[in-house]
Amino acid sequence: MDLQIKGKRVLVTASSRGIGFSVAKAFLSEGAIVTISSSSKINLDKAKEKLSSIGRVYSFVADMRDVDQVKSLIKDAEASMGGLDVLCYVTGSPKPGNISTLSDDDWRDAFNLLLLNAVVAVRESAKLMKDGGRIVLSTSMTLREPLPNLDLSNVVRLSLAGLVKSASNELAEKGILVNAVLPGWTMTERVSQLVKDRAQREFKNEDEVLRDITSQIPLKRIASPEEVANVFLFLASSMSTYITGQLITVDGGFVKGIF
């Protein structure tokens, strides 16, 4: 099946590893031109070396907490690829913690990372896109079901729902579709860190924590990054031309709420 991805010019942020890397790889495998980014040049160079064997890829160092760097990244990506058709906004995750323990600076960093720069990325990318453009934001299932000791995600990510709805309404007249992917438990370094953190807090070993997590997932396993990446690919493809303003949870059934 032709997803009509070939030749699309795609920016995937925070893509040197984890979900972002898998998203970039998926688009390259379908013939897209891709720009990747990371705050770490070492990680970025390693990722580019791996991805270059698949297709045409550009790379730029950018900290997704820094507004000016986000703006520069979008400008540089568009110039390198000769246009911008798809933005996949992926970020790192804020630190674990709860309202009692997190500092004011922790909240400011989370606001910049998860919301402010997402707004900037949507706004600046939309200026460069034509009819048929796609914006896909990566957030988290915590938007729908808060998790213990992840209060930065629980609180700040909720704002992304408003951003998706507002931006999709505003950009519809330009033919730009805006959606979000809400990954659940996915086998990334971030999840490994969360498992270690929980094991220490609950005086358990990591295998016990993993068994407890998977027992709460109806599919009884943690997702691979590639399974999440497939949803990004779908939302940028010819199969999703009437989908906008939606938040798609990819969690194996973990979230119990209906909406």
For the stretch 5-59, pLDDT in tens is 999 999 999 999 999 999 999 999 999 999 999 999 999 999 999 999 999 999 9
User: 183-194: buried (b, 16+ CB within 10 Å) or exposed (e) per residue?
Assistant: bbbbbbebbeeb
d(CA 140, CA 152): 12
What pLDDT does residue 69 have? 97
- Residue ranges of the chain with pLDDT lower than 70? none
Which residues are registered as beta bridge partners of 37?
60
What pLDDT does residue 236 have? 98
Question: Structure tokens of 245?
Answer: 């303003």
What pLDDT does residue 194 have? 78
What pLDDT does residue 200 have? 87
What pLDDT does residue 218 have? 96
Q: Is 132 exposed, middle or buried (0-12, 13-18, 19+ CB in 10 A)?
A: middle
What pLDDT does residue 250 have? 97
Q: What is the DSSP letter of 223?
A: B
Tell me which residue has tokens 């999703």: 240
Tell me which residue has tokens 């996915």: 186
